[in-house]
Structure 1
Amino acid sequence: MAATSYSNFKNNPEKYFEKVIQNCEPLIVTRKNDENIVIMSEDEYSNLMENLYIMSNNDYYNELIQRKIEASRGKSGNS
């Protein structure tokens, strides 16, 4: 994960925004008070939230894993 100081970030935020989007990688903006900020693209954020939702629902997650196992064995959900 990339990191930069707040001073560097505020001098050219657009440059860092483009890097975050192009590299599909969050950026940590460090601050003197040790309360850092993470910047990520909306796509990466949406993906993270979707994965958190899936992982937090045990029944749905277990069904998803079972379907993955079946797919790897050549079975479909409609057979």
Structure 2
Amino acid sequence: MDVVSVNKFRDNLKSLVEQVITRHEPLKVTRRAGEAFVVMSADDWEREQETLHVLQNQDLMQQIAASLDTHSKGKGYSPDDEQMNEITGI
């Protein structure tokens, strides 16, 4: 994560915000007193929130673990060609 001072952030607001959005990388902005804040795109923030929701949900994590176990043993669901065409849009 890149780090800039609040003064540099203020002076280069437009380009730094564009950088955050296009690179999908947050930017840490520091203040003289040592306090800091992070700037990130709304899309990236929403993805982070979704990830946190899944990670904090014990039932979902158990389902993911069970699915991974089934997949690694080669015993998971395998769609037929017609279903694969529908899934991939071919």
Unaligned residue ranges in structure 2 (runs of 5+): 80-90
1:57 counterpart residue number: 57
2:27 counterpart residue number: 27
1:67 counterpart residue number: 67
Q: Aligned letter for 2:77?
A: S
2:7 counterpart residue number: 7
Give runs of ≥4 in structure 1 deviating > 4 Å: none
Aligned length: 78
Larger radius of gyration: 2
The 1-side partners of 2:18 and 2:6 are apart by 16
Secondary structure of the corresponding residue to residue 77 of structure 2: coil
Q: How far is 1:70 from its partner?
A: 2.7
Q: Please report the RMSD computed on the Cα atoms of aligned residues, expressed in angstroms.
A: 1.9
The 1-side partners of 2:78 and 2:45 are apart by 30
TM-score scaled by length of structure 2? 0.76
The 1-side partners of 2:26 and 2:52 are apart by 17
2:83 counterpart residue number: none
Q: How far is 1:57 from its partner?
A: 0.9
Q: How far is 1:74 from its partner?
A: 5.6
Deviation per residue, 1:14-49 (Å, 9 max, x gap): 100111011110000010111101000111101111
TM-score scaled by length of structure 1? 0.85
The 2-side partners of 1:2 and 1:67 are apart by 36
Q: What percentage of residue pairs aligned between the two structures are identical?
A: 29
Q: Aligned letter for 1:43?
A: D
CA contact (8 A) 1:67 1:77 kept: no
Q: How far is 1:64 from its partner?
A: 1.8
